[in-house]
Amino acid sequence: MVGTRLASLTCISVILLISLLTLECHAETKSSDQTGRGLGPVLHYIGSDWDVLTRSMTRCDSVVDPKLPEAALLYLPASFAESDSVKQLEQACKVRVEHLPVVVQHPGQAGVDAISPQGLLFLPNSYVVPGGRFNEMYGWDSYFIILGLVRDRRIELARGMVENFFFEIEHYGTVLNANRTYYLTRSQPPFLTSMIMEVYNAEKAAGHEDKDWLERAYGFAARDYEMWMREPHLAGSTGLSRYYDFGSGPAPESLQDETGLRRKVAGYFLLHPELSRTYVIVKDSSQAAPGSDGPDYGVQVCDVAKTMARPGCDAAGTVQLSADYYKGDRSMRESAFDISFRFGPYGAATHHFAPVCLNSLLYKTEKDLEAISQLLGKTAEGGQWKQRAEQRKQQIDKYLWDDQRGLFFDYDLRTGARSTYEYVTTFYPLWAGLASPQQAQAIARNVKIFEQPGGLATSPNDTGMQWDYPYGWAPLQSLAVEGLRRYGFTADADRISYEFLSTVVENFRREGTIREKYDVVTRSSEAHVSAGYQANVVGFGWTNGVFLELLEELPKVMVDRLAKEQDVALPSSHP
């Protein structure tokens, strides 16, 4: 057994090393001689990067999980036949293949949190991963990846990814955060109908309209929508929905490369008594602490060092983070905004909010399902979806719109009041088409709250978290820009697009890579994140996709200007 495990670990190490070398060689090839060819180098990088980032059940590098130290393991759905390709993967890559111990019908089903060791969940079709530590198919990432695949005419690959989500709904209970066993307790922001419509419309434009496929897609999308419409995903009595992870305790994917996070969280809460009462439990040595699922943390009180001598310290006790903290942390990961202070410090209260983003996406889902119903001749069902969307719009206006500040805000279910945390998700209602013209105009006037030299910052709040100031993320640029265009604020949309595109391509010329996020204040790829994973990951799936999408919508004169800027030599160092 020991010899087998060592051999398996050695094989995984080799696979991981090959994957990393592939990315490094890819970056090195693209970084040489970038001046004098306009946008050609970055477009070539993106076009070839789709293949670098593509995974399937026939590739050894698909199973590797950089987030965990365990040996590679592939899980098939319970009672699912093992195909010849899986058998070949098992033999060629020395990968262990198992079946899930239960038939999974919904997220968080009894038994899924006890699966050990963790592993990759089988998907039937090839898919594009974000890159780096994210070596699996993600829920909301895939929408922005699919935008790029459609622009690059890789429609078959895009369709296969959407069908993978159908497979997840059928065999794993929902569109998962990603296809790993530790994600069987949660989903991600719902973009499924948006992905369906992108593929359907692309195929239709190519002369291959497939209503049979659309009929099948409709059934899966309606089924997945229902998960957000029942407890525990309901946001109290608001008629809105919330994020909620069914698991408990620390999220497994955070244990290896988010070291120190929870010590910082515990320390922060201990210094804020109004929060420590909810999130910190003082442990009695004589009995287990109630209401906690995580490790112990020792608390010391030390003298302030004023000389080279080691300060004196005394143990003050042992604490644990509460079950409510871990529920909020996990739910924050379902929201995909990990980590921000938007839902309270360190996102600890995520499950206590009705969020602007989620409910805008559900409105968009309802409108998409209405449109699909009409295309399929399901008139009565179309009317029901229309009514659901209108009801949600009314509740969003009631609970999430602040007329005085001219922004949408998340609603705190504990206090019964809107948050005051300004966040770039205020543009989601424009993208979804639910904002009134007056609301859209007010938001457009407030663009300055978020706009920086490199695009839109996620928030104006500098918390040290990656989903706050000064970072800008491709998907949020895309949604905001498309929302502004939808309501006629074309100049704002063009300007923001140009700021972000020029930031991406400038850093590409310096590094030969595309990143998951950028400091939009300094227009740099440098990231100084104080909690959570520290890397600014290379790849990067959604940035590639958004780059193509924003570039396509930019006026030709601005595209030409952007291209000409690439023919000017860069300064020797970033200011």
Q: Which residues are catalytic?
A: 338, 516
Question: What is the chain's alpha carbon radius of gyration, rounded to the nearest angstrom?
Answer: 24
If DSSP states are collapsed to H, E and C, what string results for 20-86? HHHHHHHHHHHHCCCCCCCCHHHHHHHHHHHHHCEECCCCHHHCCCCCCCCCCEEEECCCCCCCHHH
CA dist 316 and 280 (Å) reads 14
CA 512, CA 570: separation in Å to the nearest integer? Answer: 13
Q: Cα angle at 95 between 93 and 97, to 5 degrees? A: 140
Count CB neighbours of 383 within 10 A. Answer: 13
Stated as kind and residue range, the H or E segment containing 445 is helix 437-445
> What is the Cα–Cα distance from 226 to 242, expressed in whole angstroms?
13
Question: Rounded CA gap, 62 and 57, in Å?
Answer: 7
The residue written with tokens 């490369």 in the block is 257
423: its two tokens = 């966040």
Amino acid at position 171, single letter: H
CA 462 – CA 234 distance, rounded (Å)? 31
DSSP letter string over 360-394? HHHHHHHHHHHHHHHHTT-HHHHHHHHHHHHHHHH
515: DSSP letter: B
Distance separating alpha carbons of residues 127 and 65, to the nearest angstrom: 16
Three-state SS sequence of 451-466 = EECCEECCCCCCCCCC
Residue 35 CA to residue 509 CA, distance in Å, equals 8
53, 539 Cβ separation under 8 angstroms:
yes
The secondary element (H helix, E strand) that includes residue 99 is strand 96-99
Residue type (1 letter), 41:
P
* DSSP type of residue 194: H
Write the CA distances from 247 to 110, 323, 327, integer angstroms. Answer: 10, 10, 7
The CB-side HSE value for 433 (13 A sphere, CA atoms) comes to 9
Say which residue the tokens 């990143």 belong to: 515
DSSP-assigned beta bridge partners for residue 407: 402
- Token pair in block for residue 128: 């594009």
Instruction: Report d(CA 120, CA 448) in Å as an integer.
Output: 43
CA–CA distances in Å: residue 424 to residues 95, 349, 405, 411: 42, 19, 14, 15
